Amino acid sequence: MSDINGLKEIVRAENLKKTFSISRKQRRIEKTDLTRKVAVNGLSFSAYGGEIYGLLGPNGAGKTTTLRMLSTLIKPDEGDAFVMGHSVCKEAARVRDCMGFMTGELKLEGFFTPDYLFDFFGAMHGVDKATLAARKKELFTRFGIDRFAEVRVADLSTGMAQKISLVVSIVHDPEVVIFDEPTNGLDVLTAKVVTDFLLELKAMGKSILLSTHIFSLVEKLCDRAGIIIDGRMIAEGTLEDLCGDLSLEEKFFEIYHGIKGDVL
Amino acid sequence: MKLAALMRKEFHRFFHDPRLIMTLLMPGLFIFLLYSVLGEVIHETEPAKYDYKVYLSGQSQIVSILENTVIGTGSSIEFLEVSSSEEAIDAVEKGEANAYLIFSENFDASFDAGATVDIYYTSSDVDEGTGESFYALANSVLQTCGMRFSIVPHSFLTQESLGKMIMKSVLPMLVVTFIFSACMSVTLESVAGEKERGTLTTILATSVRRSDIALGKILPLCCIASLGAASSFLGIAFSLPKMMGISFSVFFQSYGFVSYLLLFLSIMGLVPLIVSMISTVSAFSRSVKEASAFTSVVMILMMVLSLITSFVSNVGDWAVVVPVFNSVFVMEEILAGGAPVLLTLAAFGLNLVYSALLVLLISRMLSSEKIMFGK
């Protein structure tokens, strides 16, 4: 692991590649004979403790696939990634131990209450009861969940359910937190709570990775960012290095048009 | 137009999904394969041999045909002299002889003029099926000689043995069906439902081992399904005597404690196996709808397996290695009045081993991104 500016490298992706098969119908539409589509193509980057790293790209660029590989839900076809020094390919359980992953595709059983689910996921991560109780009190108070602790998730508002998903994903106080489109579908109040919390986590020295296509979110939160287009890392660095005198949006479209032409 | 569009959508959903089309073809294919393989094995098994003791009254050339046929099957037959008809019938009833064959006077000469053959035979639980086997053989020989005379059977079936016969032929299939229903109601959506709702991915993102997830699902489901199965079993046990028109006391005294214990073990071996089978199907499926379609195929297979023993009598002990079929086979033995302790224990143990292998398979499936996240 290499460190920069006194920050410790927590996540390192090395030449990650992931392909998916394409249906015959889709091949006809895309007028291709290729049976597999490359979703992520040789992606490499590092994220450090105490920083927020953003993966920025349009829909279908490979952001979510990359985060799913890092969270060990899917395996890379080639390459590897290391979280706290553990390989996502060879030490998946250890990686999951030190990581919190939150995405819209992870749902909570509506039948259960936040209190039950927090305890359940605490047990899944092997958190001891005393720590779990203290952490529950802290997080439930912080997010205003305490008043709804015994209400079934199915009966809660979307914003509150999202907050519960957030606290459940970090029940084990992970060193690395991965968020796929963290503010998607949230109202402005809940979105603010989430973004404020990400900054708090950063201040606590955690390493945060997020994927988004919202420029303002990257500008507001991220210390460094990588621009992904068609599964490739096109540009990477601090916002200053990336943008120069341009805004992030202007820089992104400059890069995008440079690669894809005028196609939007 | 709207109706047509709705109908087209349903057809499109089905016929553009190869997995759902498979659920249409699989029952026929599996039944063909299963019956072909089992048929081969069953017919390679040597038929049972009997030493028949039969009282004979009257004369006919059919007697020598019958004797040759018996010898042809590898069995033997001894014709006993009849001192009095009452004495012979009494001996058959007590199981001292297997049958009493009475040809009417001038039988061969009066084929078309009211000739009759009376066959008295013992019930299966008196002489382990020898009397019934002789009746079946004699009946088939007489049938080949043409239907120009009457065959009059006289069985000494007691109410108890009649009850046992019905139990033996009906109960195993009913038990399998009810256990399957009990398991299906609690297991079907266990993995497929969680996949569909997205809640399984949340668990997969934690550090818990896949084998723990599989076991954590199957063990509680087994307990719940066992309660359902027990309830179904008790329902059958209490309703069958009424259905058969015999008293509870006759019904319950027909079997001893050991029989009930063995029956219980057979059922308890089936529960984890069926729960694991349905869970495997559920894990493989992308949705509850798909799981439901696949499970109905499995249910047909269960029915087919549990019906085999009803029309095949000489199934060997090899049946104990065939999952599900082994429990049916053992249950039939128990209900026929036997106490196959070793076979029951072997079936129970093997079903647990098969269940464990399926749990292992589910663990592997939970690690497979194609199965867990494939669209």
Tell me the average pLDDT across A109-137.
Answer: 92
User: What does the alpha-carbon distance between residue B339 and residue B335 come to, in Å, rounded to a whole number?
Assistant: 9
Tell me the average pLDDT across B41-48.
Answer: 64
* Helical packing angle, B341-367 and B257-284, nearest 10°: 20
Q: Which of A84-88, B100-104, B107-111 has the lowest mean pLDDT?
A: B107-111
Put residue A237 in one of left, alpha, beta given phi > 0 → left and psi -120 to 50 → alpha: left
Provide the pLDDT for residue A140.
94
| Phi, psi for A192 (deg, rounded to 5) | -65, -40
Provide the pLDDT for residue B232.
72
The one-letter code for the residue type at A106 is L
Tell me the average pLDDT across B171-189.
Answer: 84
Chain A environment of B194 (Cβ under 8 Å): 109
Q: What is the DSSP string of B160-196?
A: HHHHHHHHHHHHHHHHHHHHHHHHHHHHTTTTHHHHH
Percent of chain B with pLDDT over 90: 11
Instruction: Please determine, for residue B146, whether its predicted confidence score (pLDDT) is greater than 70.
Output: no
Strand A207-212 vs strand A36-48: parallel, antiparallel, or unpaired? unpaired
The one-letter code for the residue type at B344 is T
Instruction: Please determine, for residue B158, whether its predicted confidence score (pLDDT) is greater than 90.
Output: no
Residue with token string 């927590």: A10
Instruction: Please determine, for residue A109, whether its predicted confidence score (pLDDT) is greater than 70.
Output: yes
Instruction: Please determine, for residue A57, whether its predicted confidence score (pLDDT) is greater than 70.
Output: yes
* Helical packing angle, B257-284 and B288-311, nearest 10°: 140
Instruction: Please determine, for residue B281, whether its predicted confidence score (pLDDT) is greater than 90.
Output: yes
User: What does the alpha-carbon distance between residue B96 and residue B126 come to, in Å, rounded to a whole number?
Assistant: 9
Complex ipTM value: 0.86
CA distance to partner chain A, nearest, from residue B218 (Å): 17
Tell me the average pLDDT across B225-237.
Answer: 77
Tell which residue, A259, A221, A219, has the closest CA to residue A239. A219
The one-letter code for the residue type at B375 is K
Strand A176-180 vs strand A99-102: parallel, antiparallel, or unpaired? parallel
The one-letter code for the residue type at B15 is F
Provide the pLDDT for residue A90.
93
Contacts of residue A159, defined as CB under 8 A and 6 or more positions apart, other chains included, come to A186, A187, A189, A190
- Please report which residue ranges of A59-214 form alpha helices under DSSP H: 63-70, 92-97, 114-124, 129-142, 158-169, 188-203
Q: What is the DSSP letter of B287?
A: S
State CA A38 to chain mean position distance: 20
User: What does the alpha-carbon distance between residue B225 and residue B269 come to, in Å, rounded to a whole number?
Assistant: 12
Provide the pLDDT for residue A106.
79
Provide the pLDDT for residue B161.
65
Tell me the average pLDDT across B167-192.
Answer: 82
Are B52 and B58 within 8 A, CB to CB? Answer: no
- What mean pLDDT, rounded, does chain B reach? 81
Beta strands in chain A (DSSP E): 9-21, 36-48, 52-56, 78-83, 86-87, 99-102, 176-180, 207-212, 224-229, 232-238
Q: Do B202 and A107 touch (CB under 8 A)?
A: yes
Q: Which of B57-61, B151-155, B179-183, B348-352 has the lowest mean pLDDT?
A: B151-155
Greater confidence, A55 or B46? Answer: A55
Tell me the average pLDDT across B156-185.
Answer: 75
CB of B245 less than 8 A from some CB of A: no
Q: Do A109 and B197 touch (CB under 8 A)?
A: yes
User: What does the alpha-carbon distance between residue B337 and residue A246 come to, in Å, rounded to a whole number?
Assistant: 90
Give the 3-state secondary structure of residue A200: helix
Q: Do A71 and B205 touch (CB under 8 A)?
A: yes
Tell me the average pLDDT across B130-154.
Answer: 75
Instruction: Please determine, for residue B368, whether its predicted confidence score (pLDDT) is greater than 60.
Output: yes
CB of B18 less than 8 A from some CB of A: no
Tell me the average pLDDT across B13-31.
Answer: 73
Provide the pLDDT for residue B375.
63
Instruction: Please determine, for residue B240, whether its predicted confidence score (pLDDT) is greater than 80.
Output: no
Provide the pLDDT for residue B132.
76
Chain A environment of B16 (Cβ under 8 Å): none
Percent of chain A with pLDDT over 70: 97
Q: Do A124 and B201 touch (CB under 8 A)?
A: no
Q: Which strands, in side-by-side order, build the sheet including A78-83?
A: A36-48, A9-21, A78-83, A86-87
pLDDT digits (tens, 9 = 90+) for A62-72: 999 999 999 99
pLDDT band at B115 (very low <50, low <70, confident <90, very high): confident
Chain A environment of B202 (Cβ under 8 Å): 106-108, 121, 168
Greater confidence, B143 or B301? Answer: B301
Highest averaged pLDDT of the listed ranges A109-118, A181-190, B235-244, B306-315: A109-118
* Helical packing angle, B257-284 and B325-335, nearest 10°: 160
What does the block give as tokens for B214? Answer: 């599989």
Instruction: Please determine, for residue B229, whether its predicted confidence score (pLDDT) is greater than 70.
Output: yes
pLDDT digits (tens, 9 = 90+) for A160-194: 888 899 999 999 999 999 999 888 878 888 888 88
Point out which residues pair with A235 in neighbouring strands.
A227
Q: Which of residues 163-202 of A touch B (CB under 8 A)?
A: 168-169
Are A65 and A74 within 8 A, CB to CB? Answer: yes
Provide the pLDDT for residue B170.
75
- Please work out, in degrees rounded to the nearest 5, the angle formed at the alpha carbon of residue B310 by the alpha carbons of B188 and B247: 90
Instruction: Please determine, for residue B344, whether its predicted confidence score (pLDDT) is greater than 90.
Output: yes
Tell which residue, B124, B250, B235, has the closest CA to residue B174. B235
Q: Which of A141-150, B147-156, B252-261 has the lowest mean pLDDT?
A: B147-156
pLDDT band at A4 (very low <50, low <70, confident <90, very high): low
CA distance to partner chain A, nearest, from residue B210 (Å): 10
Chain B environment of A74 (Cβ under 8 Å): 369, 373
Are B329 and B246 within 8 A, CB to CB? Answer: no
CB of A121 less than 8 A from some CB of B: yes
State CA B305 to chain mean position distance: 6
pLDDT band at B136 (very low <50, low <70, confident <90, very high): confident
Percent of chain B with pLDDT over 70: 82
Tell which residue, A243, A255, A175, A249, has the closest CA to residue A209. A175
CB of B368 less than 8 A from some CB of A: no
The one-letter code for the residue type at B253 is Q
B262: burial class by Cβ within 10 Å (0-12, 13-18, 19+)?
Answer: buried
Chain B environment of A164 (Cβ under 8 Å): none
Return the exposure string of A201-217: e unless at least 16 CB atoms fall within 10 Å of the residue's CB, then b: bbeeebbbbbbbbbbeb
Instruction: Please determine, for residue A215, whether its predicted confidence score (pLDDT) is greater than 80.
Output: yes
pLDDT band at A12 (very low <50, low <70, confident <90, very high): very high
Greater confidence, B333 or B346? Answer: B346
Tell me the average pLDDT across B79-105.
Answer: 85
Greater confidence, A114 or B178? Answer: A114
Are B228 and B183 within 8 A, CB to CB? Answer: yes
Provide the pLDDT for residue B178.
82
Percent of chain A with pLDDT over 90: 54
Instruction: Please determine, for residue B15, whether its predicted confidence score (pLDDT) is greater than 80.
Output: no
pLDDT digits (tens, 9 = 90+) for B245-279: 666 676 666 667 788 888 888 888 899 999 999 99
